[in-house]
Amino acid sequence: MYILSIDHGTQSVRALIFDLHGRLMAKAQVHITPYTSPQAGWAEQDPDYFWQKLCEACQKLWRVTDISPEEIVGVTLTTQRGTLINVDQAGRPLRPAIVWPDQRRVQGQKPVGGLWGVAFKAVGMSGTVARLQADAEANWIRAHQPEVWDKSHKFLFLSGFLNYKLCGRFVDSVGNQVGYVPFDYKRKDWARWWDWKWQAVPMSAELLPELVPPTGVLGEITAQAAEVTGIPAGLPLIAAAADKACEVIGSGALQSHIGCLSYGTTATINTTQHRYIEAYPLIPPYPSAVPDAYTLEIQVYHGFWLVSWFKEEFGLAEQLRGAELGVAPEVLFDELIQAVPAGSDGLVIQPHWAPGIKEPGPEARGAMIGFRAVHGRAHIYRALLEGLGYALRDGAERIGRRSRVPITELRVSGGGSQSDGGMQLTADIFGLPATRPHTFETSGLGAAIDAAVGLGLHADFATAVGDMCHLGQAFEPIPSHQTLYDDLYGQIYQRMYPRLKRLYEGLEQIVG
């Protein structure tokens, strides 16, 4: 028996077949153009393009494996977060999807009023709520494209749109609700009628899909979907969760003391919690891929996108040599890490390449300090990775304080986890053992775990994770490096943002 797990990520779609021991039996990958930018700061894509690429990945899968589609017992889906789509009654998109990197904002929203408004003002959170309102995609569409909003039958995340294409129902997993919609993250359901979120992001409840908890049945693969994907009609489509939540359980991080680092386009640190805990006020934990749990997350926006940035701006040599050797340029970047000592000879980078909501705030920018004549291209690369490590360590410490459960071990997944140098650097900065899962495809594996439990193929999550998740190579901290990083982190990195904040605000006023 096998499970088909579809991982619709930020850079590619992967169709994956797992067995009940977590072994990846077959894989097909189709790269995608994540978005286009019709205006500066916008990120949009044709929703049907996402569906076409999913179909292409599935069709490719059947061509590269001897496993018959009839041997698949269930299908599950995990997707990128924060990509939103307006559709009509027939599920046809009414405008391009607004994709997660989109930075458009809408000003002049009516502030949340009544007792909620008074309460937010009393605790100094009015500005945070206003920022959420300005960033909400629904508010922008309603303000600038009212004709689209008026015609909308449903307002869906990418997961909900693809679920409709697969099973013909407007239904989504609770585990996919990560974004600016009136969702109650504590109850894991649409907010009650009196909740402030309906004021912040006004919409009819009828615009939202039916919700099913992870492991629940979303529907069955339709004949129409079967024809274009090759997935047998009638197979159950099992609810999983968003990509980061699936990575957590796909890495085996079920206990709160295990920190799951995701070295992907957005770098995050997550832990599984069984209590509702906010890392920052009004910034909720997200739904876990485990129905009765939460994923407490702190993210570094654009995270390992910085590696792509470095490749394009400074990595021509690795691109050319990688083409000759038939390897990705990122593989060769490990040589840059090894060419520079721990601490990058005093070059320190604060990786706030994009603004945040609370910490860092909307004024945040990136910074590099400590330049000397000794510093070159390799120093910049290592310092970028060190800066990401510092930022994620700061998040880990906040999670530990808020949850009162310190993180004592790390699991690292995502593209950046394939670098031995990056893994060692991570262990050194955190002062903790850092371990790779046995497979790179942790999001897809996490979704498959949801399907295995939902279909009754494993009795519970402890059993499923025990049988399907296995540890790969572990990296122990080097004591001398750990001591150096402790000093750089505590004495330099943690002081950078508070001291530069006013300068960032000044830059915003001068150049925008």
Q: Which fold is adopted by the domain 2-240?
A: Nucleotidyltransferase; domain 5 (3.30.420)
| Separation between Cα atoms, residue 406 and residue 409, nearest integer Å | 9
Render pLDDT for 403-462 as a digit per residue (tens, 0 to 9).
Answer: 999 999 999 998 788 899 999 999 999 999 999 999 999 999 999 999 999 999 999 999
Non-local (6+) Cβ contacts of 470 within 8 A are 22, 252, 437, 438
Is 254 within 8 Å of 290 (Cβ atoms)?
Answer: yes
Which residues pair with residue 156 across a beta bridge?
85
| Separation between Cα atoms, residue 103 and residue 389, nearest integer Å | 25
| Separation between Cα atoms, residue 378 and residue 333, nearest integer Å | 9
Q: Kindly state the helix (H) or strand (E) to which residue 28 belongs, with its residue range.
A: strand 24-31
Sheet-wide strand order for 434-437: 286-287, 294-300, 267-273, 258-263, 409-413, 434-437, 471-475
Q: Write the DSSP string, 152-164.
A: -SEEEEHHHHHHH
Is 145 within 8 Å of 60 (Cβ atoms)?
Answer: no
Place of tokens 């901290």: 477
| Dihedral angle of Cα 57, 6, 297, 217, to the nearest 10 degrees | 150
2-240 and 305-398+476-511: same fold? Answer: yes
Is 100 within 8 Å of 80 (Cβ atoms)?
Answer: yes
| Separation between Cα atoms, residue 179 and residue 157, nearest integer Å | 9
**Which of the residues in the chain have pLDDT under 70?**
357
| Separation between Cα atoms, residue 37 and residue 99, nearest integer Å | 10
Q: How many CA atoms lie within 13 A of 114 on its CB side?
A: 9
Written as six digits, the tokens of 304 are 């390992």
Is 256 within 8 Å of 2 (Cβ atoms)?
Answer: no
pLDDT value of position 362: 79
Is 447 within 8 Å of 393 (Cβ atoms)?
Answer: no
pLDDT value of position 357: 65
| Separation between Cα atoms, residue 450 and residue 453, nearest integer Å | 5
Written as six digits, the tokens of 204 are 């009819």
Q: How far is CA 379 from the centre of its chain?
A: 28
Amino acid (one-letter) located at 412: V
Is 439 within 8 Å of 477 (Cβ atoms)?
Answer: no
Q: Which fold is adopted by the domain 305-398+476-511?
A: Nucleotidyltransferase; domain 5 (3.30.420)
Per domain, the residue ranges of the chain are: 2-240, 305-398+476-511
